[in-house]
Structure 1
Amino acid sequence: MFKENFIVNIKRAREEKSYTQQYVADVLDISRTNVTKYENGTLEPSIEIIGRMAELYNVSTDWLFGIKKSN
């Protein structure tokens, strides 16, 4: 569940910011190929990259993973 949410949400976040995969790759200092692989689920990013993605997209890591907060 979390992996599927993550795949959908990182692409959604990138597109909502109108960022290209190349732009994301440049900012995160990774290859564009890796961004593509993260978005199609064939490669999992490191914790460091996940945190940097959250900062870049101005979202929480909980949001990236689709974690719903309960009261």
Structure 2
Amino acid sequence: MYVRIRDLRQKRNYSQGKIAHYLSCSQSSYSRIESGARELPVDILIKLAELYNVNVDYILGLTEFPYSLKNKSETENLE
């Protein structure tokens, strides 16, 4: 999971400081999250998923697909 968070950040050429600012935390605090020295809080997990436009399951390593695969009938039921 932590490698995936780092890879998503590096792929977009974002610094840890920039992500920390977005998350309203210190760079050192974010660095500890990214290295696995600190647990990933749920609120930060959600913010990262929104920032990178990926689903939470992808960040958690539960799927290899970064984007939701919703079929048309699922989205129609929401309307």
TM-score by length of 1: 0.83
Q: CA deviation at 1:68?
A: 2.5
Residue segments in structure 1 that go unaligned for 5+ positions in a row: 1-5
Whole-angstrom distance in 2 between the partners of 1:49 and 1:7 = 13
**Sequence identity of aligned pairs in percent?**
31
Runs of 4+ in 1 over 3 A off after TM superposition: none
Question: Which residue pairs with 2:7 in the alignment?
Answer: 12
Larger radius of gyration: 2
> With CA pairs under 8 Å and 6+ residues apart, which has the higher RCO, 1 or 2?
1
Between the two proteins, the alignment pairs up a number of residues equal to: 64
Question: Any idea what SS the aligned residue of 2:49 has?
Answer: helix
- Tell me the C-alpha RMSD between the 2 structures: 1.2
Residue segments in structure 2 that go unaligned for 5+ positions in a row: 65-79
